[in-house]
């Protein structure tokens, strides 16, 4: 895809109700400019898929969309095959709607856990805690190193763009001179999303969540995509009156890669992992 075609696919995602971030086109493409594919018919874009390659040996599939008027003709399947071929020799992950699990299994994917999108409101009071700091003031190398416990591959290029995007705010928890959690909230087509939200303890996740929600107006929606297999993340959402509005199936080809699930309170993005 060209830059313009990535933006077009993000627009399709918005029409599907996925509520992308305002700057997802730029930040997604930074992860792997060669990992976005468009299917055309008679010169007209009709389908999209992303298979973003991370090192070492991992890729994540997303933005798998066929325009409604062209569905049921095998066009998506053709593009799927092309995208998967681009990740040959790598393990691939995805977040898909549960109804499509049987189809993904046919391509070698197996369920690892469910992700559940919860929606609440902003307007929280930021905790008066000196351990919560602006993420921009934390050395970038330290953030990248910390991120590796919660994501199965190195993603420096993506994080550089993701954490610096406009219309977003990041917060970190520094204790005993060490980074022990961080999160980011970004403006979306409708409301805001928190992602990622990583924390070594539930109290850290709570403090970061409140600090991020304080950046959102009380009349605005804020969403958190959390793994069902982390009961502390579910408890956090319930404490703050969030309601589940959507779910995905996190699936991988082969055995699920090691990640620190008990500290994963918020998925970065369903499209890129």
Cα pseudo-dihedral 115, 190, 65, 183, rounded to 10:
-40
Q: What mean pLDDT do residues 77-101 have?
A: 95
Contact 211, 45 (CB under 8 A): no
Structural domain boundaries, residue 249: 117-266
pTM listed for this prediction: 0.96
Is the per-residue pLDDT at 121 higher than 90? yes
- Residue-wise pLDDT for 195-228, tens only, equals 999 999 999 999 999 999 999 999 999 999 999 9
Which residue(s) pair with 233 in the sheet? none
Task: Give me the half-sphere count of Cα atoms (radius 13 Å) on the Cβ side of residue 188.
Answer: 21
Is the per-residue pLDDT at 108 higher than 90? yes
Establish if 273 belongs to a structural domain: no
Contact 199, 180 (CB under 8 A): yes
Mean pLDDT of the chain: 97
Which token pair is 121? 């409101």
> Could you tell me where the DSSP H helices lie in the chain?
3-15, 24-31, 75-85, 101-106, 140-147, 156-163, 202-213, 231-239
The secondary structure element, H or E, covering residue 118 is strand 109-121
Last-in-domain residue among 82, 115, 148: 115
Residues 238 and 149 in one domain: yes
- Residue-wise pLDDT for 146-202, tens only, equals 999 999 999 999 999 999 999 999 999 999 999 999 999 999 999 999 999 999 999
Q: Which percentage of the chain shows pLDDT scores above 90? A: 98
Is the per-residue pLDDT at 56 higher than 90? no
Contact 129, 242 (CB under 8 A): no
Q: How many CB atoms lie within 10 A of CB 13?
A: 22
Residues 121 and 256 in one domain: yes
- State the first-to-last Cα distance of the chain, in angstroms, to the nearest integer: 20
Contact 174, 133 (CB under 8 A): yes
Last-in-domain residue among 51, 83, 115: 115
Contact 86, 51 (CB under 8 A): yes
Residues 239 and 225 in one domain: yes
Q: How many CB atoms lie within 10 A of CB 236?
A: 22
Number of H helices, E strands in the chain: 8, 12
- Residue-wise pLDDT for 230-272, tens only, equals 999 999 999 999 999 999 999 999 999 999 999 999 999 999 9
How many domains would you assign to the chain? 2
Residues 130 and 108 in one domain: no
Is the per-residue pLDDT at 69 higher than 90? yes
């Amino acid at each position: 895809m060209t830059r313009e075609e990535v933006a077009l696919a993000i627009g399709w995602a918005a029409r599907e109700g996925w509520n992308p971030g305002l700057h997802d086109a730029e930040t997604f493409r930074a992860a792997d400019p060669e990992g976005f594919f468009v299917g055309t018919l008679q010169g007209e874009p009709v389908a999209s898929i992303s298979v973003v390659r991370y090192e070492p040996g991992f890729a994540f599939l997303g933005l798998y969309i066929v325009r409604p008027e062209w569905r049921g003709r095998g066009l998506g399947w053709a593009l799927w095959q092309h995208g998967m071929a681009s990740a040959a020799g790598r393990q691939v992950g995805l977040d898909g709607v549960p109804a499509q699990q049987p189809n993904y299994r046919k391509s070698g994917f197996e369920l690892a856990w469910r992700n559940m999108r919860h929606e609440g409101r902003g307007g929280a009071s930021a905790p008066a805690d000196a351990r919560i700091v602006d993420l921009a003031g934390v050395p970038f190398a330290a953030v990248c190193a910390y991120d590796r416990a919660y994501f199965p591959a190195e993603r420096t290029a993506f994080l550089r763009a993701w954490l610096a995007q406009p219309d977003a705010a990041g917060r970190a928890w520094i204790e005993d001179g060490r980074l022990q959690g961080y999160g980011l909230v970004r403006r979306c087509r409708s409301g805001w999303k928190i992602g990622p939200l990583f924390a070594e303890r539930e109290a850290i996740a709570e403090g970061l969540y409140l600090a991020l929600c304080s950046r959102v107006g009380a009349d605005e929606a804020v969403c958190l995509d959390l793994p069902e297999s982390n009961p502390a993340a579910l408890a956090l959402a319930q404490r703050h009156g969030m309601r589940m509005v959507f779910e995905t199936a996190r699936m991988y080809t082969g055995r699920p890669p090691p990640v620190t699930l008990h500290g994963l309170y918020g998925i970065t993005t369903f499209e890129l992992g």
